[in-house]
Amino acid sequence: MARGKHGKKTRLNTAKFLRFLGVIALAAVLIAALIIGLKSCGKAKDTAPAEGPASEQPSGGQVSEAPVSGPAADASGTPQPEPPHEPTLQEIAASMQDYSHEPGKQAAPVTVQDENYLLLINRTHPLGPDYWPDDLVTVSKTVAGVGNNDTKKMRKVAAEAIEKMIAGAAEQGIDIAVRTGFRSYKYQKDLYSGYVQRNGEAKANTFSAKAGESEHQTGLACDLGGKSQNYALKYDFGKTKEGQWVYDHCAEYGFILRFIDGTEDKAGDITGYVYEPWHIRYVGEEAAREIMEKGITLEEYLGVMD
């Protein structure tokens, strides 16, 4: 009788042990399945395409010059600013007539400071909405499909200088052209508004001027493009043969790089804007040579830092 009870107890223990092994095996299978599932999710996440379109186009005819995405990185991994492109005629919401000088409206007088071509225009030294130079002439070589009839113009002295500069560059196999020259107060207002809508005011202020604060309104400044980029306005213009030629020779024709390399990290302290190798400003040959040789800004040259 005792042996019977012992045998029964042994069978019960064996059954419990087998059930225990079954539970262990089931748990192992579940854990393995979980690990495989997690790895599969990780791979799917790594290979999934980024959400949203690669680029976005503005709607409603809004002016568009700057990309929505953040700054790209160069070969060293250093983030670079993403400068805008000038709007095409189709991208400008208002008509060209809206940007044109009103017939019969008196142009702003040319002051003594203007005649010296050292007029300082920035955030603390703006122009009024009625400022319109009375000696604007059309530059012969401009980029088609950019801006309007007025943006193809510069003040007579600057236009003659840029024509000589373009010809001098061509003699050395360098092909450059003017993207935009003069911009009216209203043109700049709409341009800046487009930047703010796409990039926010804080970022827009690092590369775009509010109406009245742009040198383009003086008729003495222009943005350039080069054939290497199919006249595209990109950050690396300064690294192209055209951009390098402009840096080396612009002073010979009375121009300076207005927003020079080296002020980018302290943009708010000097010019207020990031490096723009395509933006040049006419100041006259004597001042241009000194400014470019010293590698300083127009503010520093004039001693006006407020």
Given a contact cutoff of 8 angstroms between Cβ atoms, the answer to whether 215 and 281 are in contact is yes
Lookup: tokens for 177: 């052209």
For the chain, what is the mean pLDDT? 73
Rg (CA), the chain: 32
DSSP codes, 32-86? HHHHHHHHHHHHHHHHSPPSS-SS---STT----S-SS---B-TTS-B------P
Q: How far apart are CA 61 and CA 238, in angstroms?
A: 31
> CA 240 to CA 242: how far, in whole Å?
5
| CA distances to 70, 203, 213, 224, 241 from 73, in Å | 10, 17, 29, 23, 21
For the chain, domain boundaries = 89-302
Specify the pLDDT at position 72: 41
Q: Which two tokens stand for residue 271?
A: 């010019």
**pLDDT score at 56:** 26
Two tokens at 3?
Answer: 């042996």
Q: Quick check: 127 and 217 in contact, CB under 8 A?
A: yes
Q: Residue length, the chain?
A: 306
Q: What is the pLDDT of residue 230?
A: 63
**How far is residue 100's CA from residue 214's CA, in Å, rounded to a whole number?**
17
Q: Does domain 89-302 have CATH number 3.30.1380.10?
A: yes
For residues 168 and 47, what is the distance between their CA atoms, to the nearest angstrom?
52
Residue ranges in the chain modelled with pLDDT below 70: 1-18, 20-23, 25, 29, 32-114, 229-235, 261-269
Q: What are 181-215's pLDDT values in tens digits?
A: 999 999 999 989 988 998 889 888 888 899 999 99
**Other C-beta atoms lying within 10 Å of the C-beta of residue 129:** 15
**Token pair recorded at residue 220:** 């003495």
Pairing of strands 255-259, 153-155: unpaired
What does the pLDDT read at residue 106? 43
Cite the beta strand spans of 33-101 per DSSP E: none
Pairing of strands 153-155, 276-282: unpaired
In the chain, which residue ranges form alpha helices assigned H by DSSP? 2-47, 96-99, 112-115, 156-171, 185-199, 201-204, 241-249, 285-294, 298-302
CA torsion 25-31-34-39 (nearest 10°) is: -120
